[in-house]
Structure 1
Amino acid sequence: MSPTDRLSKVVDAFTGRSTVQDPNQLPWNPDSSQFPSRKELPKIEGAPDGAAWVWGKDDQIGRLNLLTPARVKAAAAEIRTGEMVRLDLPADVPKTPAFGREVSQHKIKPLGSDGVYYDDVYIMNTQSGTQWDGFRHFAHLDSKCFYNGATASDIIGPSPTTRCSIHHWATHCIASRAILLDYKHYAETHSANYDSCTSHSISLASLTACAVSQGLDIRPESAGGDIKPGDILLIRSGFIQRYNNLTPEERTSAALRTHEDLAWAGLKQEEEMLDWLHDCYFSAVAGDSPTFEIWPVTATEGARGRVGYLHESILALWGMPLGEMWDLERLAGKCRELGRWGLFVTSAPANVVGGVSSYPNAKAIF
């Protein structure tokens, strides 16, 4: 233990304030200012290796525990001009969803015959467009466990429960500081342009270079960087820009590619990326890509074994909300105009008991 860590523990003993979280002291205190690294995670009985099921045996919200009142209040300091930017696409975009998902439907229902009363009827797959992937969406593949030990029988069995239901996020609420990394702009201006509808791999080294170009240090605050526990990470890979530039026929053709032929730019499946995503203690991550990570998955061998789907670690092992197809176009332009990359973000997921995922209902406030 370093002299600084020893001093922190002495201060904690006198003030009753937890600063450095002991990995083995469960459940963890979300008000701590420094948390264990991925390699320091405790082995939890009954959990897969690498699981960060550390917020209590009955926890349902994972990294959203980091959104304490103190952190939300501090994040509100990012609101300076009051300008707002919506981060959801229209509910019926994309017009043709990929992966065979259903097209969003909206019908207007007249009430009576005098033309003065109407209702809406919505039919939608919450993951056809702008979305949060909930904890029921993707399990740890080897153990078939979802976050904090939930299983398929909790979701669709004869006696389903509400474990990992999206409504837990809705009742907790989501609001925090967000950091935007405009990787697409960085690539365009550094002779690394690419088509976001192809398998372009965004490595941690590339993200770091992008951040430097924006004047950001994307190491955790505890290591001297700009990332605070509870921040929301937003990554613009350029998919929405590309989609907007396609003809309707090209959009349909791209979405209807076979599962084997689907391809999108996204974060690289690599050990360094896993360490960074974990150790920054983001409360959530989101991007404009349909898959967030590079697709198809290109597994690599890391120091701690094979690195496959990032979804597996982000959702099932760490309990970190993951957003896809967020509209970051206006946001990126406003950030560049103002010369700032930190902003306040709110999201109101669907309050649906038993729900798997949700539209974000997200906006940025400058």
Structure 2
Amino acid sequence: MSSSQENDIVQVADQLPWNPNCTKFPSLKELPKLPGAPEGAAWVWGENDQLGRLNLLTPQRVKQSAQEIVTGEMVRLDLPMNVPEQPAFDREPFKHTLKTLVDGIAYDDCYSLNTQSGTQWDGFRHFAHCETKLFYNKATGEDFVGENPNMRCSIHHWAEHCVAGRGILLDYRYYALKHNKPYDPYTSHAITLEELKACAAFQGVDIRPESQGGDIRPGDFLLIRSGFVEKYDSLSPEARYAAATRSHDNLCYAGVARDENMREWLHDCYFAGVAGDSPTFEAWPVPAMDFLHQYLLALWGCPLGEMWNLEKLAEKCRERGKWTFFLTSAPAYVPGGVGSHANATAIL
């Protein structure tokens, strides 16, 4: 699936703003130092940019990604809106009521929800760079909830742009069980880059960037199955409630490691977005405020998805022996919004 390196269109690091049509981009270590930005910030798409890595979803890439559709089968990647029944981190559960307009003839829906309570995108307003309290592209909390709030980093920018491209699934849970590496997704099991590479090799995928001879293209969506949904489905309602209502300090979830190697790989692959099936994507809890969230969202502008339902997709990919697909998502068109349910579909 890789292309010849001689066809690369190379982005020069300090030539701003960057051209999203390039095929090879600077590594994390090559990022330019930007005035007023933390070290490692990739605020490179323009002074007023609100899209971050979604800029990579150019018409040409979306068109190319549509070639992944072979059978036309569609797989929904959202959990039901009322799952989990009791969200973690003291978040409000989804509530659905019916409003009677004319008894027996006409009805409306009424929803009450926290967008972080189920299958979700974390938008750029969700998490700042902890040390500087800067959100993506120099936004601050005052832009969101100050005396004169504005639309910086609002989720509606994603909705206006639209979200579609090639997805790639790494079924780490299946790989680990097949290789006698059992673990509990409700513990802080950290998935290292070496394990992801081994998982990918087991699937016949090379997770180096395409410009280095691998299979990852700029603008791909990375999905990682850790087994959270599988474990959740196996628990009783009482056990689910007990697990979700543990104290904040005792919440534990499997997820990707946050060491330097993992950060460099996630950055250098230039994913348009990453998502997992657990409530946190990264292994939880996080020591010493070293959140991977701050790198993905605040520094790199990379959409971050959590609690995606990857169970059926994993089965279909295993049956086909093919781990790439066309992915669509429709973030909520909410001016000023922080995040959104994913409303995501894989088309095989």
**TM-score interval, normalised by the smaller of the two chains:** over 0.9
What corresponds to 2:173 in structure 1?
184
Partner of 1:11: none
SS in structure 2 of the partner of residue 296 of structure 1: coil
1:63 equivalent to 2:45? Answer: no
2:327 corresponds, among 345, 348, 352, to: 345
Deviations 1:111-134 (A, max 9, x none): 034x21111000000000100000
> Per-residue deviation at 1:19?
1.0
Q: What do residues 127-173 of structure 1 show as CA deviations (whole Å, max 9, x unaligned)?
A: 00100000000000011000000000011011000000000000100
The alignment partner of 2:249 has SS state of coil
Q: Distance in 1 between matches of 2:290 and 2:215?
A: 28
How many angstroms apart in 2 are the aligned matches of 1:27 and 1:269? Answer: 28
Instruction: Name 2:312's counterpart in structure 1.
Output: 330
Q: Alignment partner for residue 100 of structure 1, among 82, 85, 90?
A: 90
Q: Is the 8 A contact 1:269 1:298 kept in 2?
A: no
3-state SS of 2:102 partner: coil
SS of aligned partner of 1:260:
helix
Of 246, 256, 269, 1:280 maps to: 269
Task: Please point out which of 246, 266, 269 is paired with 2:255.
Answer: 266
Letter in 1 for 2:17: P
Match of 1:15 in 2: none
Counterparts of 1:308 and 1:101 in 2: how far apart (Å)? 22
Could you say which residue in structure 2 is the equivalent of 1:304? none
Structure (1 or 2) with the larger CA radius of gyration: 1
Q: Quick one: which of 288, 292, 298 aligns to 1:310?
A: 292
Amino acid at match of 1:101: R
Give 3-state SS (helix, strand or coil) of 2:224's partner.
strand
Equivalent runs, 1:224-235 vs 2, <5 Å: 224-235=213-224
- Whichever residue aligns with residue 154 of structure 1, its letter is D
State whether structure 2 residue 55 is matched by structure 1 residue 73.
Answer: no
Among 62, 73, 80, which residue is 1:83 paired with?
73
TM-score normalised by L of structure 2 = 0.97
Distance 1:39 1:96 in 2: 41
Q: Distance in 2 between matches of 1:286 and 1:226?
A: 18
- Residue from 225, 232, 242 that aligns with 1:236: 225
Find out whether 1:126 has 2:108 as its counterpart: no
* Aligned pair partner of 1:160 in 149, 165, 185: 149
Displacement after TM superposition at 1:315 (Å):
0.1
Post-superposition Cα deviations, 1:227-260, rounded to whole Å, max 9, x if no partner, equal 0000000000000000000000000000000011
| 26, 29, 32: which one aligns with 2:16 | 26
Q: Is the 8 A contact 1:76 1:177 kept in 2?
A: yes
Letter of the structure 2 residue corresponding to residue 191 of structure 1: N
The 1-side partners of 2:270 and 2:244 are apart by: 33
Q: Residues of 1 paired with 2:58 and 2:52: CA distance?
A: 13
State the AA in 2 paired with 1:104: F
State how many pairs are aligned. Answer: 345
- The code of the aligned residue for 1:329 comes to E
**Which consecutive residues of structure 1, in runs of 5 or more, have no partner in the other structure?**
9-17, 300-306
Question: Residue 38 of structure 2 is aligned with which of 48, 56, 72?
Answer: 48
Are 2:341 and 1:364 equivalent residues in the alignment? no
Shift of 1:269: 1.2
Q: What per-residue deviation string (whole Å, max 9, x for no partner) do you get for residues 24-64 of structure 1?
A: 00000000011000000000111111000000000001000
Per the alignment, in what secondary structure is the counterpart of residue 111 of structure 2? strand
Structure 1 position 319 matched with structure 2 position 301: yes
Secondary structure of 1:85's partner?
strand
Q: CA deviation at 1:298?
A: 3.9
- Give distance in 2, aligned partners of 1:84 and 1:187: 27
Tell me the SS of whatever aligns to 1:91.
Answer: coil
Q: What SS class does the counterpart of residue 266 from structure 2 fall into?
A: helix
Where 2:240 maps in the other structure, the secondary structure is helix
Distance 1:335 1:365 in 2: 11
**Could you say what secondary structure the match of 1:254 adopts?**
helix
Separation in 2, partners of 1:218, 1:21: 21
Q: Give the aligned residue type for 2:42.
A: A
Could you tell me which runs of 5 or more consecutive residues in structure 2 were left unpaired when the two chains were aligned.
Answer: none
Residue number in structure 2 paired with 1:251: 240
Q: How does 1:138-217 map to 2 (within 5 A)?
A: 138-217=127-206
